C-alpha cells in the first residue's frame, strides 16, 4: 500500500504540472457547462408573444381576449395587439411575435347567425411550438363556442321560449368545458439547464481520465519506468493501485471544484451535498475501473488511445451528457441506463428535481457500483497480469 501511495503522489504531481490536465479537468467543463446553460436558458419553460388582430370588435373577440388573459395561459402567452392581418404576417416573419391570431371582421355576427366563420392562426416555420399552442388555444375557444351554441339550441328545442334565447346565450358563455387534464408534476422543482449540464459536462470531462491514465501507464512503460519500479520492492498490483488512486483523487477534486464553481457562479443545483458526494465517489470508482481495464486490455499506447476515445465518446453519447435525456426517445433513455454516467446523470437530475438525500440516489449508486464491480473485477485480473508481463 505504501508503494501505491508513493506512485499515486508522483502521478498527481505530474498531472498537476500538466496544464492540459488542468484545462480538461476544470476549465473546460466549467466553461462548456456555462455556455450550454446559456444556450438552453428558457428551454426549461416555454413562453412566447402572441399577436392578436381584432377586426371583429364583437363580443366573441372580447371573450377570446378574456381567455388569453386567464391565469393558466398567462404563464405561456403574452399578447400583443396588432392592427391588421398583414401586420400579423410581418410580425411573425420578423419574429417580433411567435405566432398571431386573427379574429376576422363579422366573426361574432356570423357565429350569432349560425353561419360558418373561421379564426386564422399565423405561424412561422421556425417556431412550430408557438404555432401549435396558438392553434390549440383557437380550437379550444371554438369548441367552447360550439358547446355554447349547442346548449342554447338544446334549450330552445326543449321548449324554452324564443325570447329567452339571448339570456340563455349569455348564460352559456359563462360556462366552461369540463377539464380533461390535470397537471400533477412529479418533480417538485423544474430542472434548470445549468443543473443538468454542470454535472453533464463535469462527468464528460471526467471520462477523459480513462484516456489520461492509460496513456500515462504506456508512457511510463515506454520510458522504462514500469520496469524500473518493478525492480524495486514493489508488487505488480501496487503499481496498478497507485495509478488508480491518483485517478480517484484527481476525479474527486475535479468534480468537487466544478460543483462548487457552477453552484456559486451559475446557480446550478447539484442537490444534497452528501448525496451528490456519494454519487461522485461511485462515478469516480467506475472511471477508475474503466481506466484500469483499458490499461489491461491494450497492448500499445496507440491501442489505449483508440479504445479510450471510443469509450469516452460512446459513454458520453449513450449516457446523455450532451442532450436532455428527458427529451430523448425511450430507446436512448434505456440505453443510458447501461452506462455509469447515464445513471449518475439520472441521480443528479433526481436530486435537483425531487430533492431528498441518499435515498434519492440509492438506486443510481447501486447501479454504478454494480457496473464498477464487473469492470473492476476484470481489470484487477488482467491489469496485474499485464504489469507483470
Partner 1 sequence: MGDDVLRCDRLRRTFGARVAVDDVSFRLAPGEVYGLLGPNGAGKTTTIKMVCGLLDPDGGTVTIGGRPARDDLSVRRMVGYVPQDVALYPDLTATENLAFLGRLYHLRGRELAARIDEALELTDLASRGGDRVDSFSGGMKRRLNIAAGLLHHPALLVLDEPTVGVDPQSRHAILERVDSFGRTGMSVLYTTHYMEEAERVCDRVGIIDHGRLIAEGTRRELVAELGQKDRIELAADGDLETLAAACRRTGGVERASVADGTVQLVAADGRRTLPAVIEAAEHAGVPVRSVDVTEPDLEAVFLHLTGTALRE
Strand ordering across the sheet containing 120-123: 77-82, 48-54, 99-103, 120-123
Cell output for 31: 466553461
- Judged by CB under 8 A, the chain residues 169 through 188 that form the site for partner 1 are none
Residue 203 or 234: the one with the smaller Cβ distance to partner 1 is 234
14 binds partner 1 (CB under 8 A): yes
**287, 209 Cβ separation under 8 angstroms:** yes
Pairing label, strands 99-103, 120-123? antiparallel
Rounded least distance, CB 221 to partner 1, Å: 10
**239, 233 Cβ separation under 8 angstroms:** no
With contacts defined by CB under 8 A, name the span among 44-52, 112-120, 178-186, 224-232 that binds partner 1.
224-232
Q: From the list 154, 164, 227, 385, which residue makes contact with partner 1 (rule: CB under 8 A)?
A: 227
Rounded least distance, CB 23 to partner 1, Å: 17
385 binds partner 1 (CB under 8 A): no
Q: From the list 157, 182, 186, 232, which residue makes contact with partner 1 (rule: CB under 8 A)?
A: 232
Rounded least distance, CB 372 to partner 1, Å: 28
301 binds partner 1 (CB under 8 A): no
With contacts defined by CB under 8 A, name the span among 13-21, 57-65, 196-204, 253-261 that binds partner 1.
13-21
Q: From the list 161, 178, 224, 330, which residue makes contact with partner 1 (rule: CB under 8 A)?
A: 224
| CA gap 48, 101 in Å, rounded | 13
**248, 284 Cβ separation under 8 angstroms:** yes
Residue 226 or 315: the one with the smaller Cβ distance to partner 1 is 226
| CA gap 73, 46 in Å, rounded | 11
Q: From the list 89, 149, 230, 237, which residue makes contact with partner 1 (rule: CB under 8 A)?
A: 230
Residue 178 or 233: the one with the smaller Cβ distance to partner 1 is 233
Rounded least distance, CB 230 to partner 1, Å: 6
Residue 15 or 346: the one with the smaller Cβ distance to partner 1 is 15
Q: From the list 119, 168, 207, 234, which residue makes contact with partner 1 (rule: CB under 8 A)?
A: 234
Residues 6+ apart with CB under 8 A from 61: 54, 103, 107, 108
6 binds partner 1 (CB under 8 A): yes
Q: From the list 152, 209, 229, 291, which residue makes contact with partner 1 (rule: CB under 8 A)?
A: 229
Report the sign of the C-alpha dihedral through residues 357, 360, 362, 367, in that order. Answer: negative
| CA gap 62, 52 in Å, rounded | 11
| CA gap 307, 210 in Å, rounded | 10
Rounded least distance, CB 17 to partner 1, Å: 6
In 216-287, the DSSP E strands lie at: none
* DSSP helix/strand/coil, 77: strand
237 binds partner 1 (CB under 8 A): no
18 binds partner 1 (CB under 8 A): yes
| CA gap 249, 205 in Å, rounded | 15
| CA gap 285, 266 in Å, rounded | 27
Rounded least distance, CB 303 to partner 1, Å: 22
Distances (CA, A) of 35 to 41, 127, 329, 341: 10, 23, 24, 21
Q: From the list 41, 74, 93, 228, which residue makes contact with partner 1 (rule: CB under 8 A)?
A: 228
| CA gap 123, 89 in Å, rounded | 8
Which residue ranges make up the site for partner 1 (CB under 8 A)? 2-3, 6-7, 10, 13-14, 17-18, 223-225, 227-235
Amino acid at each position: 500500500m505504501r508503494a501505491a501511495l508513493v506512485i499515486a503522489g508522483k502521478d498527481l504531481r505530474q498531472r498537476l504540472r500538466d496544464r492540459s490536465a488542468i484545462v480538461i479537468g476544470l476549465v473546460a467543463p466549467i466553461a462548456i457547462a456555462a455556455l450550454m446553460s446559456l444556450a438552453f436558458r428558457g428551454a426549461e419553460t416555454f413562453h412566447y408573444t402572441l399577436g392578436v388582430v381584432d377586426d371583429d370588435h364583437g363580443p366573441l373577440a372580447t371573450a377570446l381576449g378574456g381567455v388569453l388573459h386567464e391565469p393558466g395561459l398567462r404563464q405561456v402567452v403574452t399578447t400583443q395587439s396588432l392592427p391588421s392581418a398583414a401586420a400579423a404576417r410581418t410580425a411573425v416573419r420578423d419574429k417580433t411575435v411567435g405566432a398571431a391570431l386573427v379574429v376576422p371582421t363579422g366573426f361574432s355576427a356570423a357565429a350569432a347567425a349560425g353561419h360558418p366563420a373561421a379564426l386564422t392562426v399565423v405561424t412561422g416555420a421556425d417556431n412550430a411550438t408557438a404555432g401549435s399552442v396558438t392553434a390549440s388555444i383557437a380550437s379550444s375557444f371554438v369548441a367552447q363556442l360550439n358547446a355554447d351554441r349547442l346548449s342554447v339550441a338544446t334549450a330552445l328545442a326543449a321548449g324554452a321560449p324564443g325570447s329567452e334565447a339571448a339570456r340563455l346565450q349569455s348564460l352559456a358563455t359563462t360556462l366552461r368545458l369540463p377539464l380533461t387534464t390535470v397537471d400533477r408534476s412529479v418533480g417538485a422543482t423544474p430542472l434548470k439547464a445549468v443543473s443538468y449540464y454542470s454535472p453533464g459536462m463535469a462527468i464528460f470531462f471526467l471520462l477523459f481520465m480513462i484516456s489520461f491514465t492509460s496513456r500515462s501507464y504506456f508512457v511510463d512503460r515506454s520510458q522504462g519506468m514500469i520496469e524500473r519500479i518493478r525492480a524495486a520492492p514493489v508488487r505488480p498490483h501496487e503499481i496498478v493501485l497507485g495509478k488508480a488512486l491518483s485517478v480517484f483523487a484527481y476525479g474527486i477534486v475535479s468534480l468537487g471544484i466544478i460543483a462548487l464553481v457552477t453552484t456559486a457562479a451559475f446557480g446550478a443545483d447539484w442537490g444534497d451535498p452528501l448525496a451528490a458526494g456519494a454519487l461522485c465517489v461511485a462515478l469516480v470508482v467506475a472511471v477508475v475501473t474503466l481506466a484500469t481495464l483499458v490499461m489491461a486490455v491494450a497492448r500499445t499506447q496507440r491501442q489505449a488511445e483508440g479504445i479510450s476515445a471510443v469509450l469516452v465518446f460512446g459513454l458520453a453519447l449513450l449516457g446523455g451528457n450532451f442532450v436532455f435525456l428527458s427529451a430523448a426517445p425511450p430507446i436512448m433513455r434505456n440505453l443510458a441506463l447501461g452506462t455509469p454516467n447515464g445513471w449518475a446523470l439520472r441521480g443528479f437530475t433526481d436530486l435537483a428535481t425531487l430533492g431528498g438525500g441518499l435515498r434519492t440516489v440509492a438506486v443510481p449508486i447501486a447501479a454504478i457500483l454494480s457496473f464498477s464491480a464487473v469492470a473492476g473485477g476484470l481489470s484487477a485480473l488482467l491489469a496485474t497480469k499485464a504489469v507483470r508481463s
